[in-house]
Amino acid sequence: MSAATITAPLAKPGADEGRIGLRANLRHIGALVRRNALQIKQDPESMFDVLLMPVIFILLFVYVFGGAMFGKGNQQQYVQYLVPGMMAMMGLNIAMAVGTGVNEDFRKGVMDRFRTMPIARSSVLIAKIVVEIGRMLIATAILLGMGFLIGLEVRGSVLEFVGAIVLSTVFGAALMWIFILLGLAMKTPQAVQGVAMMVLMPLEFGSSIFAPTKDMPGWLKGFTDVSPLSNLADAARALINGQGAVAHPTMVTLAWAVAITAVTMPLAVAKFRKKT
C-alpha cells in the first residue's frame, strides 16, 4: 500500500504540525498503523521471523542443550527455566525489525512522501512501534504455545502469568526506540542488522536467559546481575513458576524501560524530524 492512500484521513493540507491536537495525532497514528499492517498482509514473508523463530529456538535449546544444562532426563526442569527467559529474547529480536523497517522506508522514498504531509513526525514512529508490539505479542504467543506443548506449566496465578507477558511487552517496546534511532543513523538496512547483531549476541548470551549465572566468571556475573535482560528473564521466570524474587527484578526491568524510552525516544523523534 502506498503512502498516498493515507493522505485523506490524516489532515488538511497546510495544517501546522505544531497545532496538531491529540485527536488528530491519534487519527494519524491509526491510519499509519493500518498502512503498516497492510504492508505485512501484502508481504507475508515478513512474518517468518515471528512465526518460526520461537519454534526453532525453543526446540533447539530444549532438546540440544536441555540435558547438558540440567542433567539427562531433566529437560522438563529446563523448559520451566528456558521458556519464561526466552520471553525477554523475543522483544529484543523483534525490536531489530523496527530499525531495518524505518531504514528501508527512507531508502524507498516513503518518508519523502510523509514529509509533504501535515502530520506529526512522531506519529510515523509510534505507528511503527504499535505494529511491532503486535508482532511481538504473536511471537510470544507462539513461544508459550510451544512451551505448553513440550510441558511448560504455569505454576503462578493467572494474574502473574499476564504480568510476565505485560512486563516483556513493555520492555520490548522500550528497546524498539533504540533500534529506530539506529535505523535513522545507519545508511543501509544491512548496516542496521550488522550493528544490531553485535549488540544482540552479547546481551542475550551474557544473561540468565539460557543458563543460570552462578557458575559464570565473576566479571561476567557482575554484568549479568545488572543486565536488563537477566532481570526481565528472572522476573518472568518467577511470575510463571510462582516462586523466586519478583519485586526486585521487576522494578529493575521497569526502571530500564523508562530510562531507555526517556533517552532514546526524544533522540529518535529529533533525528527523524531532521532527516525528513
CA distance 124 to 28: 8
Helix (H, G, I), strand (E, B), or coil: what is residue 186? coil
Task: Indicate left, alpha or beta for 239 from its phi (over 0: left) and psi (-120 to 50: alpha).
Answer: alpha
Q: What is the DSSP string of 125-151?
A: HHHHHHHHHHHHHHHHHHHHHHHHHTT
CA distance 249 to 14: 49
CA distance 93 to 201: 10
pLDDT of residue 153: 92
pLDDT of residue 267: 92
pLDDT of residue 6: 43
pLDDT of residue 115: 67
CA distance 148 to 44: 26
CA proximity to 82, closest of 95, 92, 73, 69: 69
Q: Average pLDDT of each block of 10 consecutive residues along the chain (276 residues)?
A: 43 48 79 84 80 88 76 77 90 84 80 70 85 92 94 92 95 93 87 85 86 82 87 94 90 95 92 79
Compute the half-sphere exposure of residue 133: CA atoms within 13 Å on the CB side of its CA.
Answer: 17
Decide: 137 and 221 in contact? Cβ < 8 Å.
no
Q: pTM of the prediction?
A: 0.84
Q: What is the DSSP string of 235-260?
A: HHHHHHHT-S--HHHHHHHHHHHHHH
pLDDT of residue 11: 43
Instruction: Write phi, then psi, for 154 (nearest 5 degrees).
Output: -90, 105
CB-CB neighbours of 173 under 10 Å: 20
For 76, 107, 120, 147, the CA distances from 48, given in Å and listed in that order, are 27, 22, 31, 19
pLDDT of residue 276: 64
Instruction: Look up cell 539506529; give the residue.
Output: 182
CA distance 201 to 261: 22
Q: Delimit the domains of the chain by residue range.
A: 21-275
Alpha helices in the chain (DSSP H): 7-10, 22-42, 48-60, 66-70, 75-108, 110-115, 121-149, 158-185, 189-205, 218-226, 228-241, 247-275
